[in-house]
Structure 1
Amino acid sequence: MQFQGTDQYVATDDLKMAVNAAIALRRPLLIKGEPGTGKTLLAEQVAASLGLRLLSWNIKSTTKAQQGLYEYDAVSRLRDSQLGAEGVEDIGNYLKKGKLWEAFEAEDQVVLLIDEIDKADIEFPNDLLQELDRMEFYVYETQTLVKARQRPIVIITSNNEKELPDAFLRRCFFHYINFPDAATMMKIVDVHYPDIKQTLVKEAMEIFFDLRKVPGLKKKPSTSELIDWLKLLLADDIPEDILRNRDTKKAIPPLYGALVKNEADVQLLERLAFMNRREG
C-alpha cells in the first residue's frame, strides 16, 4: 500500500516518502506547516488514493481526548429511568462513540484525521498516548475492551501554535510541509485551473511571492489564498496589463482582500508604498 499522490493533490517526493514511512512503521503521521499548505487536504487525498474511508476529528479549544473515545450521557439515562423508558437498563444505549471508537471497530482499514491538534489543551496529546500506541481502550461503564480490528492510518495536523509533548512526538513520524517553490506552485495552480492563461499566472505569482518577501508582514499569504486570488482575477476578468505594468508606488495589488488578512499588514504595505513615493 503506497501513496503516490493524486490528480487533485501535488505531493512532493519528501511528502510521499513521509506518508509511506508512517504507514510502514504503523505510527501516526504528524504533519506541520503554514496554514493553507494542504495539511488537511493531504488526509483526504491519502484516503482517496488508497481507496479507504476517511474519518475526521476536528479539534477545538474545548475538545477533550475522552470525546474521541466515547461519552457517557448519564443525564439522559437518569431522565429515561424516571420516565420508565425501555432499554434504560442497557448502559450501552447511552454511550456516544467517538472517532477513535469508529475507526477501531471498522471492518476495513480507515484513514483517521486528527485535525489541528495544537488547538486543544496541552494535555490533550498525552491523554491519547496509550490509545494511539496500543490501538485499544477500556470502556469502564460496560467493562469492555475496545481493540482496533484493523489498525487505522492516523494523520495528525498541527499549525505549530503550541509545542507538543516529547512523549507524544516520540510516537509519531514527523514531516514539515515546506512552502512550495515557484515550480511546485505552478503545478498546484495547474491542478485547480488547467486552462488558465500562463501569462496571467506568471504575473500573479510574481506579485504573490514578492508579497511574501515583505519584511514585517504578520501573516504571509498562503497557497490556498493564492488559489482564491486567481479565482477572483478570473471572475473579474482583470486585464493582465494591470498586473504586468503594476505601479510599485501603489499600496497593494488588486483584490488584495484575498491575500492580505489583517489591517496591520494593509497599513504596512501602505507605509511601504508611501516610502516608495517619497524616494521617487
Structure 2
Amino acid sequence: MNDWRIYRGAGLPHDGIRRLPPPPPWRDFAATAPDAGAATDPSAARRLGVLRRLVENHHPRPEEVEAVNAALYLRRPLLVTGNPGTGKSTLAHAVAHELGLGRVLRWPIVSRSTLRDGLYHYDAIARLQDVQLERAGGDGGERRSIGSYVRLGPLGTALLPAEQPRVLLVDELDKSDLDLPNDLLNALEEGEFHLPELERIADREPEVEVLTDDGGRAVIQGGRVRCTTFPLIVLTSNGERDFPAALLRRCIQLDLKPPGEEQLTAMVRAHLGDDAVTDGDALIQRFLDREPGEVIAADQLLNALFLTQHAPRTERVTRDRLAEMLMQPLDRPR
C-alpha cells in the first residue's frame, strides 16, 4: 500500500474506508481468544493478548506475585496503585485466567458512583408501571415476581455464595467521591449486604430469584447476600488521591512499577507478534529510555508500534511524527 491514509482531507467522497485494516488486537471488540469459553470475559482477549502470551510468557515481579497470594490467603482486597498504563487492570484478568476463575466482574468507578451501584439496583418505577398496566388491563394475569426488577451489581454478584472466589475489578477508585471508600468498609469486612426491598417480603417470599451482573440468575434467601468464599477484589488507583486509613488497613497494598524490558517485550509479543518486537526495537528502546519520572503508558507504545507498521517505511518523517504524536508524556503540561 503506497498511501496508508484512509482519510485524505481532500473533501471529495471516496471508498477508502474499504481499505481500513483490522483493528489493533486490544481494540478488536469482536475477537475472542482461541481457547475462550462461554464463561470467559470478552475483554480478557483484548487485555491479555489474543494469543495469551502476556500471561504465559510474562514473568511478573516477585512483589506482584507475593501481593496477589497475600490477598488470596488472607481474603483481603488488593489495592493496586501506579501510573496509567502500568497494567493494574490487566493484573485482575491475568489472575483469573491462570487460576481458571471465570470472567472478571468489572465495576468502573466514576464521580457519581455509590455503594448501592456496586451492590444492586431495584427498578421501582418499572415495577409500578407493570402493576398499573395489569390493573388497567384487568386480565387477572399472574403478577411478575419482585425479583424481575432486581439486578445485582458487580460487587453484589461477587459476594454471592460460591465454591471458588470470583474476581472483581473495581477500576479507578480514586475517581470516586469522598464517601465511597468509607462506604465500602462494611461490605469488604463482613462480606455481606442486605436488600431491604426483599427483606420486607421475606415472610411471604423467603426465596427470590434475581438477575446478576454477568447475565445469570441467583436465588436470594431472606433478602440477604452473604459470601461463603471471599472474592479476589482488585481495587485500582492512579494515585490521584489518598484513601482513609480504615480502607488501607483492610487491603493488601501493591505499588505497580512501569514495565521493564522483559515485561514490555512480552506485552508487545502478546498483542502484535514477534515481528513487532524486531521492527519496533527503536520505539521500545525509546520508551525504556524515557526521562526519570516521565509518564508514558505502555498502551501508548502499542498504539505507536501498530500505526507505524502501516505507514510506508520510506516515509521516515511520517513514522517519526506519528510516534511523537502517540507517545507524548501524560504529565506534560498542555
Q: TM-score range by the shorter chain?
A: 0.7 to 0.9
Which of 242, 247, 258 is equivalent to 1:163?
242
User: Which sits farther off after the overlay, 55-64 or 229-238?
Assistant: 229-238
After the TM superposition, list the runs of 4 or more consecutive aligned residues in structure 1 that deviate by more than 6 angstroms: 261-264
- Mapped to 2, the partners of 1:17 and 1:263 lie a distance apart of 30
Query: Does the C-alpha gap of structure 1 residues 118 and 17 become closer, same or farther in structure 2, counting only changes over 3 Å?
Result: same
- How far the C-alpha of 1:258 sits from its partner, in A, is 1.5
Name the aligned partner's letter for residue 242 of structure 2.
Answer: E
Check whether the contact 2:159–2:231 (CA below 8 A) recurs between aligned residues.
yes
- Mapped to 2, the partners of 1:123 and 1:170 lie a distance apart of 17
User: Equivalences for 1:32-47 in 2 at 5 Å?
Assistant: 32-47=81-96
- How far the C-alpha of 1:264 sits from its partner, in A, is 6.2
- Mapped to 2, the partners of 1:254 and 1:65 lie a distance apart of 42
Report the count of equivalent residues: 249
- Mapped to 2, the partners of 1:9 and 1:214 lie a distance apart of 24
Check whether the contact 1:27–1:171 (CA below 8 A) recurs between aligned residues.
yes
Which of 315, 323, 333 is equivalent to 1:255?
323
Name the aligned partner's letter for residue 257 of structure 2.
Answer: N
- Mapped to 2, the partners of 1:145 and 1:156 lie a distance apart of 24
Partner residue, 2:291: 213
Secondary structure of residue in 2 paired with 1:196: helix
Is 1:226 the counterpart of 2:297? The answer is no
Is 1:73 the counterpart of 2:128? The answer is no
Query: Does the C-alpha gap of structure 1 residues 154 and 199 become closer, same or farther in structure 2, counting only changes over 3 Å?
Result: closer
- How far the C-alpha of 1:107 sits from its partner, in A, is 3.4
Q: Percent identity?
A: 35
Q: Whose helix fraction is larger, Structure 1's or Structure 2's?
A: 1
- How far the C-alpha of 1:89 sits from its partner, in A, is 7.6
Query: Does the C-alpha gap of structure 1 residues 39 and 91 become closer, same or farther in structure 2, counting only changes over 3 Å?
Result: same
Check whether the contact 1:77–1:88 (CA below 8 A) recurs between aligned residues.
no
Secondary structure of residue in 2 paired with 1:84: helix
- How far the C-alpha of 1:46 sits from its partner, in A, is 0.8
- How far the C-alpha of 1:129 sits from its partner, in A, is 0.8
Per-residue Cα deviation, 1:215-251 (whole angstroms, up to 9, x for no partner): 8x6xx32111112211222222546x95xxx9xxxxx
Query: Does the C-alpha gap of structure 1 residues 92 and 190 become closer, same or farther in structure 2, counting only changes over 3 Å?
Result: closer
Which of 8, 14, 17 is equivalent to 2:66?
17
- How far the C-alpha of 1:96 sits from its partner, in A, is 2.2
- How far the C-alpha of 1:180 sits from its partner, in A, is 2.4
- Mapped to 2, the partners of 1:254 and 1:50 lie a distance apart of 39
- Mapped to 1, the partners of 2:159 and 2:262 lie a distance apart of 40
- Mapped to 2, the partners of 1:170 and 1:57 lie a distance apart of 22
User: Equivalences for 1:108-257 in 2 at 5 Å?
Assistant: 108-109=163-164, 110-143=166-199, 144-196=223-275, 200-210=279-289, 212-213=290-291, 220-238=295-313, 254-257=322-325
Query: Does the C-alpha gap of structure 1 residues 214 and 136 become closer, same or farther in structure 2, counting only changes over 3 Å?
Result: closer
TM, length-normalised to structure 1 = 0.77
Check whether the contact 1:9–1:45 (CA below 8 A) recurs between aligned residues.
no
User: Which sits farther off after the overlay, 198-207 or 40-49?
Assistant: 198-207
Secondary structure of residue in 2 paired with 1:57: strand
Query: Does the C-alpha gap of structure 1 residues 199 and 87 become closer, same or farther in structure 2, counting only changes over 3 Å?
Result: same
Name the aligned partner's letter for residue 192 of structure 2.
Answer: E
Q: Structure 2 stretches of 5 or more lacking a match?
A: 1-53, 136-140, 200-222
Name the aligned partner's letter for residue 259 of structure 1.
Answer: M
Partner residue, 2:210: none
Per-residue Cα deviation, 1:122-155 (whole angstroms, up to 9, x for no partner): 2111111111111101211121221013221111
